[in-house]
């Protein structure tokens, strides 16, 4: 009502009046969006570069093994805390923004460790394999929780990011035996049926992907391979620490997914 002082102010400021059902649901929704936005902030690029450089130095010097372990441990605790903190789901009706915010939040919190894992795969000599594998398999399973299934299931997304990060580094270094070992390692899902990393985390093998929620991400609604396309775009920036020639990234990424698919087929059949 523009005759009301508030209405006049809105009109003067070129604002827009929105209709809400009530104050409580509105402010609960607003609080959840503000919290998600805060969690989606990417780490300072300079901090990322410094931590990745530290990881490279630790890999080059065996006497720095403990420092590397502590670096990985700090980032793992950070990711694990973020998953626990995000376990409480917002009240109210479903919105695609909830999924989009969750994806962005997990990516922001995982970027540092994912880039370190890429460096470990590329420049490691095998001693780091067990640490990387433990992180991926442990983050790859979460206890069941209530709420929207798509938000519950995406809690294993950091494990998918670390799988791609370490696997791409292994492939760049041509450590193919370690790559197959990574794909074929058993992962505990709390169920009787045995699962491997390839059968549980690769592409759309994860739980809750039957209706392909990745198409909810911006510009991916018509893509047949929405998750793969999104990861391809994401890791183009996360592999700059060891890929230095323009044009080699896409081939490496496609090669990784092809080998993962072949590993899955191999492990799923007796012949």
Looking at residue 34, its pLDDT comes to 47
Looking at residue 88, its pLDDT comes to 66
Other beta carbons within 10 angstroms of residue 119's beta carbon come to: 22
Looking at residue 9, its pLDDT comes to 57
Q: At a CB cut-off of 8 Å and minimum separation 6, what does 99 contact? A: 150, 151, 154, 213, 216, 217
Contact predicate 39/105, CB 8 Å: yes
Looking at residue 39, its pLDDT comes to 47
DSSP assigned state of 167: H
Burial status of residue 166 (CB atoms within 10 A of its CB: 0-12, 13-18, 19 or more): buried
Other beta carbons within 10 angstroms of residue 59's beta carbon come to: 20
Own/partner long-range contacts of 258-265 (Cβ < 8 Å, ≥24 apart):
259/171, 259/176, 259/179, 259/180, 259/183, 260/167, 260/183, 260/198, 260/202, 260/203, 261/202, 261/203, 263/180, 263/183, 263/184, 263/198, 264/183, 264/196, 264/198, 264/199, 264/202, 264/205
* Sites in the chain below the pLDDT cut of 50: 1-2, 29, 32-40
Looking at residue 52, its pLDDT comes to 93
The CA-based angle 74-101-115, given to 5 degrees, is: 35
Residue 63 tokens read as 């006497």
Contact predicate 170/182, CB 8 Å: yes
* Phi and psi at residue 218, to the nearest 5°: -55, 135
End-to-end CA distance of the chain: 74
Dihedral sign for Cα 165, 169, 170, 174, please: positive
- Per-residue model confidence as pLDDT tens digits over 115-171: 999 999 999 999 999 999 999 999 998 877 777 888 888 899 999 999 999 999 999
Query: Strand, coil or helix: what is 149?
Result: helix
Looking at residue 83, its pLDDT comes to 82
Dihedral sign for Cα 133, 136, 138, 141, please: negative
Q: What is the pTM of this model?
A: 0.81
Looking at residue 189, its pLDDT comes to 78
Query: Which has the closest alpha carbon to 59: 113, 127, 111, 131?
Result: 127
Other beta carbons within 10 angstroms of residue 7's beta carbon come to: 13
């Amino acid at each position: 009502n523009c005759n009301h002082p508030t209405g006049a102010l809105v009109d003067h400021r070129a604002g827009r009046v929105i209709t809400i059902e009530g104050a409580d649901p509105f402010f609960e929704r607003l609080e959840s969006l503000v919290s998600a936005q805060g969690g989606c902030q990417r780490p300072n690029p300079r901090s990322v570069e410094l931590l990745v450089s530290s990881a490279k130095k630790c890999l080059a010097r065996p006497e720095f093994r403990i420092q590397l372990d502590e670096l990985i441990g700090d980032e793992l605790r950070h990711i694990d805390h973020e998953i626990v903190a995000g376990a409480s789901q917002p009240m109210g009706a479903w919105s695609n923004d909830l999924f989009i915010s969750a994806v962005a939040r997990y990516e922001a919190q995982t970027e540092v460790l994912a880039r370190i894992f890429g460096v470990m795969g590329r420049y490691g000599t095998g001693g780091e394999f067990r640490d990387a594998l433990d992180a991926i398999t442990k983050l790859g399973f979460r206890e069941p929780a209530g709420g929207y299934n798509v938000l519950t299931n995406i809690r294993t997304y950091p494990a998918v990011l670390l799988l791609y990060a370490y696997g791409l580094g292994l492939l760049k270094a041509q450590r193919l035996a370690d790559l197959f070992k990574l794909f074929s390692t058993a992962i505990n899902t709390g169920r009787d049926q045995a699962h491997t990393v390839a059968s549980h985390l690769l592409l759309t093998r994860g739980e809750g992907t039957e209706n392909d929620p990745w198409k909810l991400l911006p510009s991916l609604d018509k893509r047949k391979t929405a998750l793969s396309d999104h990861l391809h775009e994401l890791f183009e920036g996360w592999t700059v620490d060891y890929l230095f020639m323009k044009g080699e990234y896409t081939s490496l990424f496609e090669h990784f997914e092809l080998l993962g698919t072949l590993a899955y087929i191999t492990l799923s059949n007796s012949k």
